[in-house]
Structure 1
Amino acid sequence: MKRAVLFDVGDTLILGHPKFWLWPLLLERGLTPDTSRLREAIAAAYAEYNRRHLEAISPELALPVWRTFHRRLLEGLGLQDHAEEISSYLAENWQNPKVWPITPGAVEVLTELKKRGYKLGVVSNWDGLLPGVLEAVGLAPYFDYVAASALEGVAKPDPQIFRVALHKLGVAPQEAVHIGDSPDDVAGAEAAGVTPLLFDPYRQNPQAIHDLREVLERV
């Protein structure tokens, strides 16, 4: 019997693709990104973020990492002349929920799972901003524990971050399900003995669920 549901955040509870949070900012400024370079730009930006995020254990340390992430992304999209201004704006407005668009169905699913009595947790490769981000978008009250990799000192796919969350929630591995979008989510959960559920909000992976509301039928 399942007693707990764990969630990744980026591209699971919050949509990370630039078209959902960056494109509106560019439109306001009359700017057009070079989308032919989008995949490479995203890969380069995340490579830099992943290299540094475990060191970013506080907002003060995390914001410079995000500024670099945003500059790399904007430069990769051919917007180097605007990279400093926009990255500064995003850093100053990191608690604005418009910067972190919630995945459709997320609030509905979390509300229903709470009603059903599940313990809810986050297991996410994220820096020290994560608790504040969840507060900003209104999701923090749903969770009994938030395991951010930078704050735990270990990142997925290492199963240890799952074990931390399970211990804090007071549940055994076989009593938990983890929903996430990446191979690291699946590998880490399985290594910890947690049942993984692969999610793809962009409907590109036929093996994944594409609507978070499907979680309610799977737990």
Structure 2
Amino acid sequence: MTIKGALFDFSGTLFRIEPTEAWLRAVADDLGVPFAEDELARAAAGLERVGAMPGGAVPVAVPARLAGLWAQRDRSAEQHRAAYTGVAREVALPDPRLYDALYERHMTPEAWRPYGDAAEVLAGLRDRGVRVAVVSNIGWDLRPVFRAHGFDAYVDAYVLSYEHGIQKPDPRLFALACEALGADPRDTLMVGDDRRADGGAAALGCALHFVDHLPADRRPDALRPVLDLAG
């Protein structure tokens, strides 16, 4: 198969969110909230356990009162914020300002690090004439992250769940991306880290390439095989 279009997931595929402790430390420092190192480590572990960081670990369990919201969190900006700040409040933090500040922090370019081979692969696809779309389950505009890291020039379209009220694995979101690229799904590759969500593209006839959702320094070259499919 030689692909003519490529769809990429965002978090865990092209970019990785910062570690939970770094996330909490950055926000606490900005607000001037004192944390002893052991207290910060315990609080970060708690936030990770409940899945409070978008793009980070999944919750061990979602509270029943938030289950419905959590299942549809990527359909709007409001639902996304409410879901993540809701689970974060399951963890006692010393200053109530931290909950919203943590959510705000995760939307900044500084909170994200691209995978080591991401720029190479996106540039290689551009050189081969393969059009690229980012298809993400998300509740905020990730375009500034791509611009800040110099990736925007490689992306032809962004198809974000909250802008359409549709979330993966619904095939309609992938169909919108293929339409934006002018690409036949049968000539298009979906690259992602979530076999259920990103696997929804297969319903349209897209090929699939999965990568592992690992820290950036532990996954140096999982995207490179995509270039072999681009001819």
TM-score bracket, shorter-length normalisation: 0.7 to 0.9
Instruction: Give the Cα separation in 2 of the matches to 1:66 and 1:138.
Output: 27
In the alignment, does 2:59 pair up with 1:38? no
In the alignment, does 2:177 pair up with 1:165? yes
- CA shift in 2, pair 1:66/1:104, >3 Å: farther
Instruction: Give the Cα separation in 2 of the matches to 1:101 and 1:2.
Output: 27
Instruction: Give the Cα separation in 2 of the matches to 1:36 and 1:86.
Output: 14
Indicate the structure (1 or 2) with the bigger Cα radius of gyration. Answer: 2
TM-score by length of 2: 0.72
Pairwise CA RMSD: 3.3
1:91-102 map, 5 Å: 91-93=103-105, 96-102=108-114
Does structure 2 conserve the Cα–Cα contact (< 8 Å) formed by 1:199 and 1:210? Answer: no
Q: State the shift of 1:24 in Å.
A: 5.4
Instruction: Give the Cα separation in 2 of the matches to 1:167 and 1:199.
Output: 24
Question: Percent identity, aligned pairs only?
Answer: 26
Instruction: Give the Cα separation in 2 of the matches to 1:195 and 1:131.
Output: 25
Q: Secondary structure at the match of 2:11?
A: coil
Instruction: Give the Cα separation in 1 of the matches to 2:167 and 2:46.
Output: 31
Q: Which has the higher helix share?
A: 1
Instruction: Give the Cα separation in 2 of the matches to 1:85 and 1:102.
Output: 29
The size of the alignment, in residue pairs, is 206
Alignment partner, residue 81 of structure 1 = 94
Runs of 5+ consecutive residues of structure 2 not aligned to the other structure: 52-57
TM-score by length of 1: 0.75
Instruction: Give the Cα separation in 2 of the matches to 1:8 and 1:36.
Output: 27
* Deviation string, structure 1 residues 148-193 (Cα, Å, up to 9, x no partner): 1111221111111111111111111111101001123443111011
Q: Secondary structure at the match of 1:196?
A: strand
Does structure 2 conserve the Cα–Cα contact (< 8 Å) formed by 1:201 and 1:211? Answer: no
Instruction: Give the Cα separation in 1 of the matches to 2:100 and 2:122.
Output: 32
Alignment partner, residue 130 of structure 1 = 142
